[in-house]
Amino acid sequence: MNPSASGWINKLGHFLQKNADGFHDFDQLYHNLKENGFVYGIHLHIPPFINSEHRLTDDEVAKINLLTALFYVFHFSRGSTDPKAFVQMVLDYYRHLEIGEFSFFEKIIAGSDNESKLERLIDSRIKLGENLIDRTFGNSITNSLLFIDVLTFKRFLEGEKRILGHARILEYSAINIALHAKKTKESDDHDAKMVQLLAASLTYVDIEPDKYDKSYHKIIGNQLTAEEKQYLLDLTCMAVWKDHAIERHELTFVKNIGADLGKTPEEVEASFCQAKEFFEKNYKRISFLHDKSLAEQYYDNMAKTIGKLIVRNSKRLKKELLESKELIALISKSTVKELTIEEKKKMRNQLIDIFKSIPSLAIFMLPGGAILLPIFVKLIPTLLPSAFDDNRMEKKQ
């Protein structure tokens, strides 16, 4: 099976159907995905019963693990191993993750059979087409958010009506735990950028920063399942890990998050030890542990990726921006002073309207995409100055 060639989902579907008893419940599936690195957003291994024709890239491992996880969640919920029913259910699920009345996925999966549609959809979910993410998804906070797709799919199958809203709740919780994890570290320039970026993303998930503590504890206490809380605990262990070690105060932070999540000290210790074992076992294969720090790699790669997006779509972006003088004014203002909560929400909503009309910018509309908006806002005046220069000239007239 070659996940980069057409027809791979059909082959994987047959593998999974023949190995329906490969995992007996969600806990066993989750444990395997954590050992493989998928839960941590680090793509190293696939389930042992799945054969590959060649050595897999990180993206290919991510594709297989994402689809495998979705399949078993479907199997546990519906008791079915029918590949066609599964593919249709996943397509329906991703359509429910659209923004408003617009569906980016309808544009990339129109026509052809369902399996081919899903292949293009999964490829877009992992890479967003033509390497728009480059290698950024490897070893980054955003990549660990990919598991939110699995947790949200589980909710979808359980009858959750506001599926997009729930994805945002999980995203919000994950981002803010990562934010607080970064604050426990000795800061350098790139770590400071990471904290600033994650802090800015608070305004893009419809919860005001000054209400963070209250709303955060309310969310994790009342709205999340045991599986979702376990994921957030494991994400915490991943986020604090740096330089092949965790400091004592960082371990205290992990214990405090565990307590907030309703976990016992024994459960917190188990998660911590599992993360420690994973990173020590795979140390040589995880580049951010011995090259750049996670924050440095994340921020630099994201900035490069979004810069490419802006340049590649410069004509469309300029056209859309010139039709929204208010948005240009808000972006310009944000470069010199802090916007109000209302202004930030207005800017976000107007940006999303633009992303709806430019499919290659759909990265900002997917689960986890909210944390990219601050970088976009920061870069666009520099990479697309003519739109803002024109606006200033019109103002003078």
105-157 per-position pLDDT tens digit: 555 555 578 998 888 888 877 754 333 333 333 334 455 678 989 999 999 99
What is the extent of the structural domain holding 260? 163-289
Under the banding of pLDDT at 50, 70 and 90, the label for residue 229 is very high
| 313: Cβ contacts below 8 Å, ≥ 6 apart | 358, 360, 361
Residue with tokens 């495998």: 68
284, 171: one domain: yes
364, 315: one domain: yes
Residue 184 has pLDDT above 70, yes or no: no
pLDDT at 104 (0 to 100): 54
DSSP string, 217-281: HHHHHHT--HHHHHHHHHHHHHHH-BTTB--HHHHHHHHHHHHHTT--HHHHHHHHHHHHHHHHH
Chain centre distance of CA 336: 29
Chain centre distance of CA 218: 22
- Residue bearing the bigger pLDDT, 295 or 370: 370
284, 298: one domain: no
How many domains, the chain? 3
The verdict on residue 135 lying in a domain is no
pLDDT at 260 (0 to 100): 87
The lowest-confidence range among 31-45, 238-252, 301-315, 352-366 is 238-252
258, 343: one domain: no
Q: Identify whether the C-beta of residue 134 lies closer than 8 Å to the C-beta of residue 304.
A: yes
Taking the C-alpha atoms of residue 46 and residue 43, their distance in angstroms, rounded to an integer, is 8
CA dihedral sign of residues 87, 91, 96, 97: positive
174: left (phi over 0), alpha (psi -120 to 50) or beta: alpha
| 226: Cβ contacts below 8 Å, ≥ 6 apart | none
Element (H, E) at 354: helix 341-357
| 3-class DSSP state of 99 | strand
Quickly count: other Cβ atoms within 10 Å of residue 252's Cβ: 11
Q: Of 289, 308, 327, which marks where a domain is finished? A: 289
**Which pair of structure tokens corresponds to residue 225?**
């399942």
pLDDT at 18 (0 to 100): 92
- Residue bearing the bigger pLDDT, 81 or 170: 81
Looking at residue 339, the DSSP 8-state letter turns out to be P
The verdict on residue 152 lying in a domain is no
Q: Of 127, 153, 181, which marks where a domain is finished? A: 127
Taking the C-alpha atoms of residue 294 and residue 197, their distance in angstroms, rounded to an integer, is 14
350, 391: one domain: yes
The CB-side HSE value for 35 (13 A sphere, CA atoms) comes to 9
The verdict on residue 155 lying in a domain is no
Q: Identify whether the C-beta of residue 63 lies closer than 8 Å to the C-beta of residue 1.
A: no
Quickly count: other Cβ atoms within 10 Å of residue 206's Cβ: 12
- Residue bearing the bigger pLDDT, 221 or 167: 167
Quickly count: other Cβ atoms within 10 Å of residue 140's Cβ: 23
Q: Of 246, 265, 289, which marks where a domain is finished? A: 289
**Which pair of structure tokens corresponds to residue 132?**
């728009």
343, 278: one domain: no
Helix axis angle, 341-357 to 325-334, nearest 10°: 130
CA dihedral 243, 248, 250, 255 (to 10 degrees): 140
DSSP string, 136-159: TTTTSHHHHTTHHHHHHHHHHHTT
Residue 16 has pLDDT above 80, yes or no: yes
Residue 226 has pLDDT above 70, yes or no: yes
Quickly count: other Cβ atoms within 10 Å of residue 74's Cβ: 24
Per residue in 188-216, pLDDT (tens digit) is 555 555 555 545 544 444 544 444 443 45
74, 178: one domain: no
The lowest-confidence range among 144-153, 277-286, 291-300 is 291-300
